[in-house]
Amino acid sequence: MSHWYPKEFAQYVFRQLTEDASSHHLDHSLDPKALENILSICYQASFMRDEDRTARFRLIIRNPENMLPGQSPPDGLHRFEFTEPHPCSEDELRRLFPAVSFHRSMIGVTLDEYSMPQIWGIVHSGPRWLQLIHGGTQKINPLPNSLIIYVTGPGRITVSVGLAMIAGLRSGKLISSANDVLSSTWLRDIFVTHRDELWELHQETREKFGADWATITPEFPMLLGQSLMRRVISLICNYHHGGMLVFVPMEVSEDLKETNPYLNIKYTFRSDEGRLRIQQDIARIMNEFAQVGGKSGNQQGSIGWSEYQSISTPALSRMDEMLFEKAHLLAELTMVDGAVVLNRRLELLGFGAEISSGLDNITTVQRAIDVEGVSREPESVRGVGTRHRSAYRLCKALPGVLAVVVSQDGQVRFVYWFGGEVTYWDQLSTSILDF
């Protein structure tokens, strides 16, 4: 279907919950009609405003008696129960959301004997849950296995069980892991040389000092780089300024800093240690992670992304924070007009880059239907702005360039020369926090 609305969205979420029940251990049973009703109420509330504030709130479906007493952030959830419940309606949510901070609290909801939603109170979580969304290692207070609904703007809803995203709705479009471009094979292949270099750096250090280190799964450095990319794109989206990231092949890195027919980079950086810092930071994280894993008794097996998110040491958390700061730096450079240019080693070449207007015009591109680009259809470029058209021209003129274009409204588009044509993929969401 061309557009999804609460009824279809609820049906999809319910199928995901029931078909994969072994992965989603819900603590509150829901029938399809009750789920549709709650999502419809949240959908209507998402279009409401309180003075100049847009609706943004988190709603957790969990009985108050299932909230452990005596807990409080940052280590637990603090329950504040009303003396009597209030009907869960869009008007009630509009009145409540200004007082219930999106990042720190949730609206507690349960179902009465008629399966009608009731607001029983407020759950104060604190902001530590955000750390895991960003892919870090800092210890957090995990959210319970309850259905949580995130309303982040008009028509923008995400459903999760705890922090495991089930699906989202953005402007009538369904979001699921099936349309996550960042996890595609073709995108990983672009950075495969960078991954191999990271492994070489890690193995060199391991041979010298890592006799008791744990073995890291082969996909870990790619997942860490993917997490960094998510952070950068999500931050750019949240700035509501728009921007572009351009990743160029290694063989043209230095040429593009000089006069060339493709790009004019206004602010360029020297080829020194500072440019190599992201790769070095990732290699250091791999070394520290393997060392910590070995001390935890994991020498016999492999450790990967799930262990990285659960293991927390001061050194590993500090390294992760350093990488997170690089994401902020890259995102903030997009606030200057022009593209931020990096090579496939994630070395920052410069920013404020203007794509040459002398490149051949392009009238038609291919829109990828699936994340791997197996199904595509032609599309005219008339409906897009200057930023998108310049990205199309660059990718045609210089195959091997990957352009990530972020619109002011938060739309994310990956552009690449694929299968002999300029092709684009829409990334509808990078995390449950996109708004």
Higher pLDDT, 124 or 211: 124
pLDDT of residue 435: 43
Residue 187 falls within a domain, yes or no? yes
Split at pLDDT 50, 70, 90, the class of 67 is confident
Higher pLDDT, 203 or 277: 203
pLDDT of residue 239: 85
Domain identity same for 202 and 155? no
Split at pLDDT 50, 70, 90, the class of 142 is low
User: Do 394 and 408 meet the contact criterion of CB atoms below 8 Å apart?
Assistant: no
Residue 27 falls within a domain, yes or no? yes
| Last residue within a domain, chosen from 175, 190, 205 | 175
Domain identity same for 142 and 255? no
Peptide bond into 74 cis (omega under 30): yes
Residue 434 falls within a domain, yes or no? no
Count of CB atoms situated within 10 Å of the CB of 206:
18
Per DSSP, the residues of 75-129 read: TS-EEEEEEEEEE--HHHHHHHGGGS-TTTEEEEEEE-TTS-EEEEEEEE--STH
Any bridge partners for residue 348, and if so which? Answer: 342
Domain identity same for 187 and 167? no
Which 8-state DSSP code applies to residue 219? T
pLDDT of residue 433: 58
Higher pLDDT, 183 or 390: 390
Domain identity same for 396 and 254? yes
Q: Give residue 206's domain range.
A: 181-427
Lowest mean pLDDT among 283-292, 307-316, 381-390: 307-316
Length of the chain: 435
Domain identity same for 218 and 350? yes
Domain identity same for 51 and 190? no
Domain identity same for 322 and 353? yes
Domain identity same for 148 and 270? no
Does the predicted TM-score (pTM) go above 0.85?
A: no
Residue range 237-272, pLDDT digits in tens: 888 889 999 999 999 999 999 999 999 999 999 887
Higher pLDDT, 136 or 162: 162
Average pLDDT over residues 361-374: 94
Higher pLDDT, 142 or 254: 254
How far is CA 193 from each of CA 327, 328, 370, rounded to the nearest angstrom? 21, 25, 25
| Last residue within a domain, chosen from 150, 175, 200 | 175
97 has a pLDDT exceeding 70: yes
Domain identity same for 187 and 79? no
pLDDT of residue 187: 95
Average confidence score pLDDT of the chain: 88
Count of CB atoms situated within 10 Å of the CB of 23:
10
Lowest mean pLDDT among 115-129, 167-181, 220-234, 399-413: 167-181
For the chain, give the percent of residues with pLDDT over 70.
Answer: 91
Domain identity same for 278 and 368? yes
Domain identity same for 343 and 256? yes
Task: Please tell me the total count of domains within the chain.
Answer: 2
382 has a pLDDT exceeding 70: yes
Domain identity same for 78 and 96? yes
